[in-house]
Amino acid sequence: MEIKRRITLLLFILCAGSHLTNIYAQVNFPGGNIVLLHDGNFRDPDDIGAMPMCLAILQAAKLSDKLVYMEHSHFLGCNDSIMESEMNESMHEAWERFGPFPNSTYFNYYRQSDNARNEFIRVINSSGKDNPLWVICAGRMESLYRAIAGAKKSKRKNLILVSHSIYNEDYTRNRAPMDSLCTGMVHTWDDIKRDFGKDKITFIESSDREIFTDNPYVLTDQNESNGDFDFKTPVASWEWLREMGPDYSWLLTRNRVRNAFDVSDAGILWFVITGAIDRKNNKKVGCETCGWREVKELLGNFMIK
């Protein structure tokens, strides 16, 4: 039965993913370690599905040991208890299904902000020139600002911050009247650049900023990078997950976005693990127009090995 299952999976992947050659050749992580930062406890339900998808991708890409810190629910001052509960469930379940992640722990930042900040600072201070820290900024910027502020100045140059959303980058509690009570949300991406940019942090930022930035590293919004083939597409594009076993089919149940399967934040991680940037030549290398087809091939190859 095991041989039959593997043959069936192989045929399934070849038929549906023939546009790709060898997905493992596309996984080209540039080295260092990875940090995942998510909100999800207020306003943005996409993290409920995107966060576990990130962990599934890391496992299948054989990069589980590169994850060194993870947080969720880092929206401060405001909290939707139902969404927070959903984030907790996604986190705990994904950690069990796609782990182990031997070099990392995770935090509910809303509940554990002090401990989370201290651990994040420790991780930054453990980085080095040959061991940079790729920070996947899949949420707001407040917790990131606090960690950078507490880290050693000499270690900040090892940070590579990656974002695809100008909404996340610019968000503060003054962004909308109904958010005025979110008293913890006061720092933005531009605050980080202003206060710590001189410490030689590398910023990979939303392409929406291209009109007013000379930064060569701008990332296409992963909500709309490649039409029906990116990381936010009709649910039908991801139905193949049902054929991939209980762990991957579970990912479908975590989607909380109406009229789409939205794991766009996982697109940031995909960009990083497929090459990210060439800092010597100031150019992008990673895939910023990939999506469900590439994920399908990666997960399928992992299952049949």
- What are the structural domain ranges in the chain? 2-304
pLDDT of 273 reads: 98
% the chain with pLDDT above 90: 70
Q: With a cut of 50, say whether residue 1 has pLDDT above it.
A: no
Query: For residue 205, how far is the Cα from the chain centroid?
Result: 14
CATH code matching the domain that covers 2-304, chosen among 1.10.287, 3.40.1400, 3.90.245, 3.30.420: 3.90.245
**CA-to-CA distance for 148 and 276, rounded, in angstroms?**
22
% the chain with pLDDT above 70: 87
**Higher pLDDT, residue 177 or 3:** 177
**Higher pLDDT, residue 202 or 9:** 202
Average pLDDT over residues 166-178: 67
DSSP string, 254-289: T---TTSEE-THHHHHHHHHTT-EETTTTEE-S-SS
Residues counted in the chain: 305
**CA-to-CA distance for 206 and 191, rounded, in angstroms?**
15
Q: CB within 8 A of 57, min separation 6: which ones?
A: 266, 269, 270, 273, 295, 298, 299
Query: Tokens standing for 244?
Result: 């991939």
Cα–Cα separations (whole angstroms), residue 74 to 55, 103, 240: 18, 21, 32
pLDDT of 207 reads: 74
Per-residue pLDDT band for 19 (boundaries 50, 70, 90) equals: very low
pLDDT of 4 reads: 47
Return the beta strands (E) in the chain as ranges. 33-38, 67-72, 106-108, 133-138, 159-162, 202-206, 218-219, 232-233, 261-262, 277-278, 283-284
Q: With a cut of 60, say whether residue 44 has pLDDT above it.
A: yes
**CA-to-CA distance for 170 and 190, rounded, in angstroms?**
7
Query: Tokens standing for 93?
Result: 């379940």
pLDDT of 283 reads: 92
pLDDT of 25 reads: 47
Q: How many CA atoms lie within 13 A of 179 on its CB side?
A: 13
**CA-to-CA distance for 83 and 303, rounded, in angstroms?**
31
pTM, 2 dp: 0.90
pLDDT of 206 reads: 82
Q: With a cut of 60, say whether residue 22 has pLDDT above it.
A: no
pLDDT of 72 reads: 98
Q: With a cut of 50, say whether residue 21 has pLDDT above it.
A: no
If you ran DSSP here, which 8-state letter would residue 222 be given?
T
Return the beta strands (E) in 20-158 as ranges. 33-38, 67-72, 106-108, 133-138
Query: Tokens standing for 144?
Result: 């990131």
Over residues 46-99, the pLDDT tens digits come to 999 999 999 999 999 999 999 999 999 999 988 999 999 999 999 999 999 999
Over residues 125-169, the pLDDT tens digits come to 999 999 999 999 999 999 999 999 999 999 999 999 999 877 678
Over residues 274-295, the pLDDT tens digits come to 999 998 899 999 999 999 999 9
pLDDT of 18 reads: 44
Other beta carbons within 10 Å of 190: 14
Count of helices and strands (H, E) across the chain? 11, 11
Q: What's the whole-number average pLDDT of the chain?
A: 88
**CA-to-CA distance for 251 and 52, rounded, in angstroms?**
7
Q: With a cut of 60, say whether residue 209 has pLDDT above it.
A: yes
